[in-house]
Amino acid sequence: MTQPARIIFMGTPDFAVASLQALLEAGRTVVAVVTAPDRPSGRGLQLTPSPVKQAAVAAGIPVLQPEKLRDPVFLEQLAIYQADLQVVVAFRMLPEVVWAMPTIGTFNLHGSLLPQYRGASPINWTIINGETETGVTTFFIEKEIDTGQMVFQDIEPIHADDTAGTLHDRLMERGAALVVKTVLAIEAGEFPRIPQPNPADPKPAPKLHRENTQIDWNQPAHTVCNFVRGLSPYPTAWTLIDTERGRDKFFKIYAVSVANEAPDFAGEPGNAYSDGKKKIMIRAADAWLCVDVLQAEGKRRMTAEEFLRGNSL
């Protein structure tokens, strides 16, 4: 291209804000932003703009907030900006009428090393599955989700103490730099289009919900540790623990560790033990695990010691 691309940016959460700000700091031409409609939030359920909308308004960029991406009014508004390129970071699945609109196309930033971990929650699943490295990928959107031709990738190690939260923050910054690199290469007309291979052992990254975030204490201790790390701080692993009153109580579990000292009985997977002062332990398949940080239903997040000061199991 002989001049900077006219860019429409699409995104909603904090993860996308870093990429938008990086594009603006690099002097790129963002002509409009598309994000989610304002949603009720907080105790007063006041309508709250998305993090991306807040960043766009602060930068003086026009904002579009369609409820439906096929809405003819929205499509007319989108076409008015005559974008050369659309950049998507943490947004909804786009219909072809949207992603095919720009003259160059639409590329997406994905939080994994494609073709592995296609899906809605790649950061979580890489930790849950015990990976030692992951990364970010930019690729052009095509009909099948997360399968388009890749432009660039960047690798990020996963540390033994990483949670989904810490890894999210590092990939957010690494991804923002990759978005700028991709835009500059496209504007220069020197960028690859690498077809994604079909892996022999594909690892999906499906959306997380209540049914697939419950801890299975029949798994080995290291597997449970990875599961909890991969869901902390959001959406958070959960379990039911028997209380002294003989009924199950719902707990979110934010952090666990292998116990240095175990109770003097073997216990079955899922059995809980507490010394009543500092420790809450739950038996996994092959070891006892200390519950280090938890949250009872209707309570705040706290350490096991804090919880036991006013509660018992």
CATH 3.40.50.12230 in the chain is located at: 6-188
- Return the closest-CA partner of residue 220 out of 136, 286, 301: 286
Q: Is the per-residue pLDDT at 20 higher than 80?
A: yes
Mean pLDDT over each residue of the chain, to the nearest integer: 95
- Quote the radius of gyration of the chain (alpha carbons, Å): 23
Instruction: Outline which parts of the chain fall under CATH 3.10.25.10.
Output: 210-310
Both tokens assigned to 17: 């804000």
CATH code 3.40.50.12230 for 6-188: yes
Q: What is the pLDDT of residues 26-83, one digit of tens each?
A: 999 999 999 999 998 777 788 999 999 999 999 999 999 999 999 999 999 999 999 9
Peptide bond into 235 cis (omega under 30): yes
User: Contact at 8 Å (CB) between 164 and 190?
Assistant: no
Residue 245 is predicted with a pLDDT of 65
Per-residue confidence band for 284, with pLDDT thresholds at 50, 70 and 90? very high
What is the pTM assigned to this prediction? 0.94
pLDDT of residue 304 exceeding 90, the answer is yes
Query: What is each CA distance from 54 to 20, 27, 29, 33, 45, in whole angstroms?
Result: 11, 19, 18, 11, 18
Q: What is the pLDDT of residues 220-267, one digit of tens each?
A: 999 999 999 999 999 999 999 876 666 789 999 999 999 988 888 878
Residue-wise pLDDT for 161-196, tens only, equals: 999 999 999 999 999 999 999 999 999 999 999 999
Predicted local distance difference test score (pLDDT) of residue 1 = 66
E strands present in 12-132: 29-34, 39-41, 46-48, 63-64, 85-89, 105-110
The class of domain 210-310 in CATH terms is alpha beta
* Predicted local confidence at residue 163, as pLDDT: 98
